[in-house]
């Protein structure tokens, strides 16, 4: 009996010491996976898009005929709606890969799920975020030209209709003009210097900025007498050792932007203020004076998209 009491007392002491140590260390070491995050920017072809465009450009484009021409061209170049969900975000030949190769978008950002390991004090130990669209996925270059696959460029495409085609109209897709003017362009970034809150959280930043293709800019200038502004999407993802993950998507006012979490559409912000968006590129009546490729003005900001949850 005394031996049994001694054994039970020993177990109680061990349990108490374990809890005291846990309190001293601040918890237990944890390893978890972040959600898969995706944003898609595209020009949405609403049923009333032509009438909306006509009203928006009333004070932008001089002359009834040119305004109708500009709105007709923009409507024809609008994108098909992306799927509301993807079952395979990472596989070659998966549904996301197949969608991306169709080029029906103005840009996207994809941050796949990655592992986070934190110690017993709640400090970040290791993390392996990556951007799968750059050649160096673990430490992506800041040069936006160094994308992995020319057939699915995350900076997007300009959709151009072949006006001689009929039933159905056929299209070609020209690579967007990528913004390179600002030397602080960050592309994808996830480094120790981005740790915050005493290394209890990690910030992952990913930035896309692009505009109409080179040739399409001259077509727009003819119709609107403006230069094309750069659209942008900026994802700020914060992952903390308490397993809380937040995603904030900053974006230009135009075009439409969707946020997906783990392959499912979570929210969407509408494209708005088309007239203000076009004017932001700057008036330019002389096509020879358009800004050079990679240089120009960035479009005004629209409403953000946010997601926050403990995983």
**How close are the terminal C-alpha atoms of the chain, in Å?**
47
Higher pLDDT, residue 201 or 81: 81
Please state whether the predicted TM-score (pTM) of the whole model is above 0.85. yes
* Average pLDDT over all residues of the chain: 86
φ, ψ of residue 44 to 5 degrees: the values are -85, 130
Question: Over 60: is that where the pLDDT of 26 sits?
Answer: no
Instruction: Give the mean model confidence (pLDDT) for residues 50-61.
Output: 95
Whether omega before 168 lies within 30 degrees of 0, making that bond cis, reads yes
Tell me, what's the pLDDT at 144? 56
Going by C-beta distance under 8 Å and a sequence separation of 6 or more, which residues neighbour residue 227?
217, 221, 281, 282, 284, 290, 291, 296, 297
Cβ atoms 206, 188 nearer than 8 A: yes
Q: What is the rounded CA–CA span in Å between residue 155 and residue 143?
A: 12
Q: Which helix (H) or strand (E) holds 235?
A: strand 231-240
Question: Over 90: is that where the pLDDT of 259 sits?
Answer: yes
Question: Over 60: is that where the pLDDT of 22 sits?
Answer: no
Q: What is the rounded CA–CA span in Å between residue 161 and residue 22?
A: 64
Angle formed by the axes of helices 64-76 and 214-224, to 10°? 150
Confidence of residue 16 (pLDDT cuts 50, 70, 90): very low
Tell me, what's the pLDDT at 167? 79
Going by C-beta distance under 8 Å and a sequence separation of 6 or more, which residues neighbour residue 129?
34, 111, 114, 190, 202, 204
Question: Over 50: is that where the pLDDT of 268 sits?
Answer: yes
Q: Report domain extents, the chain.
A: 29-310
Tell me, what's the pLDDT at 185? 65
Confidence of residue 135 (pLDDT cuts 50, 70, 90): low
Q: What is the pLDDT of residues 153-198, one digit of tens each?
A: 899 999 998 878 777 889 999 999 998 888 666 566 654 344 566 7
Q: Pairing state of beta strands 305-310 and 256-261?
A: unpaired
């Amino acid at each position: 009996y005394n031996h049994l009491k001694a054994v039970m007392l020993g177990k109680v002491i061990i349990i108490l010491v374990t809890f005291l140590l846990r309190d001293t260390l601040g918890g237990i070491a944890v390893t978890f996976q972040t959600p898969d995050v995706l944003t898609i920017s595209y020009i949405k072809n609403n049923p009333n898009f032509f009438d909306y465009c006509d009203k928006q450009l009333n004070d932008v484009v001089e002359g009834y005929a040119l305004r109708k021409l500009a709105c007709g061209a923009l409507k024809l170049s609008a994108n098909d709606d992306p799927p509301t969900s993807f079952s395979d975000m990472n596989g070659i030949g998966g549904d996301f890969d197949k969608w991306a190769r169709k080029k029906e978008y103005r840009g996207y950002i994809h941050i796949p799920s990655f592992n986070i390991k934190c110690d017993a004090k709640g400090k970040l130990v290791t993390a392996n975020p990556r951007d799968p669209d750059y050649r160096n996925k673990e430490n992506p270059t800041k040069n936006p030209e160094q994308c992995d696959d020319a057939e699915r460029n995350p900076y997007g495409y300009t959709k151009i209709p072949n006006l001689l085609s009929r039933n159905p109209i056929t299209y070609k897709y020209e690579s967007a003009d990528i913004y390179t003017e600002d030397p602080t362009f960050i592309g994808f970034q996830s480094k120790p210097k981005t740790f915050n809150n005493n290394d209890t959280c990690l910030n992952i930043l990913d930035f896309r900025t692009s505009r109409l293709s080179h040739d399409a800019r001259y077509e727009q200038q003819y119709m609107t007498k403006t230069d094309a502004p750069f659209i942008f999407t900026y994802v700020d993802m914060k992952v903390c050792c308490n397993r809380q993950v937040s995603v904030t998507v900053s974006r230009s006012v135009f075009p439409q932007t969707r946020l997906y979490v783990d392959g499912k559409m979570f929210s969407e912000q509408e494209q708005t203020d088309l007239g203000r968006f076009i004017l932001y590129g700057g008036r330019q009546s002389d096509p020879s004076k358009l800004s050079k490729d990679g240089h120009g003005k960035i479009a005004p900001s629209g409403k953000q998209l946010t997601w926050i949850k403990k995983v």
